[in-house]
Amino acid sequence: MRQNETSETKLNWQKIGSGPNLILLHGWGMNGAVWQQTAERLSHHFCVHIVDLPGFGFSYQAGFSSMDELVQPLLDEAPQQAIWLGWSLGGLVTTHVALHAPERINGLITVASSPCFAEQKPWRGIQPKVLSAFTTQLMDDFHLTIERFIALQAMGSPSARQDLKTLKQAVLSRPSPNPQALLAGLTLLANLDYREYLTTIQAPTLRLYGRLDGLVPIQVERDMAALMPNSQSYVFSQSSHAPFMTEPDEFCQQVTEFARLHSM
């Protein structure tokens, strides 16, 4: 994949393939390299745009302190209209775009994501003490914290060892994340709650989940069906938090079928 280089851009973008625009957003602590195999498959049908979010990968020099500050550079540089796909924290980002810039989205795909990552009983999610511990650990050793988070994402999958290896290789292939962006991202995961706004989203929506996910419990899929009754969902039976790595063929098929239908 060739990197698009412009003198003005602050974010690192890659583009591969031709056809309708499809934007891929990575999760917390990661970078665009996690999408390499997925993008190559999807490029047979779409013009795939992969970005390193502010503070991550080759965009490590950029930063943000709020979701608005994270999203605005994306909107400034992204195609005017596209299918937006976001994994984990990236799913929160795409949801924000769907809420605040609906004219830019032809379709919304969230992957192993939630409108509220923190547990708020009866809503299932990451326990606040776990998020708090990550924040504390981040101050002490952010490399170790990222490594632990990657391990959590792969845990439970039959291919956990390979998933963990692939995720680590992707992260290490690009510059280390900006510690400020890591902390800001954790704060978003801990505090954002978009549940009450979901009914206003007009974009066709596909929600993808891993049955074995320890970060976004499968109960979220059922609860989301009530919050977004017009959305579609699919559960990958053998996957945890990274279904695009564990079940790549099925993942690309689900994305392709949905995106083809809503890319015009």
- Distance set, CA 15 to CA 35, 62, 188 (Å): 12, 20, 28
Q: Identify the DSSP state of 162.
A: H
| Neighbouring residues of 155: CB distance < 8 A, sequence distance ≥ 6 | 214, 240
> For tokens 């049908």, what's the residue?
45
With beta carbons less than 8 A apart as the criterion, state whether 82 and 92 touch. Answer: no
Residues recognised as catalytic? 88, 213, 241
**CA–CA distance, 122 with 200 (Å, rounded to integer):** 23
Q: How many CB atoms lie within 10 A of CB 200?
A: 10
Distance CA(62)–CA(74), nearest Å, equals 12
CA–CA dist 13, 51 (Å, integer)? 4
Q: What are phi and psi of 158, to 5 degrees?
A: -60, -25
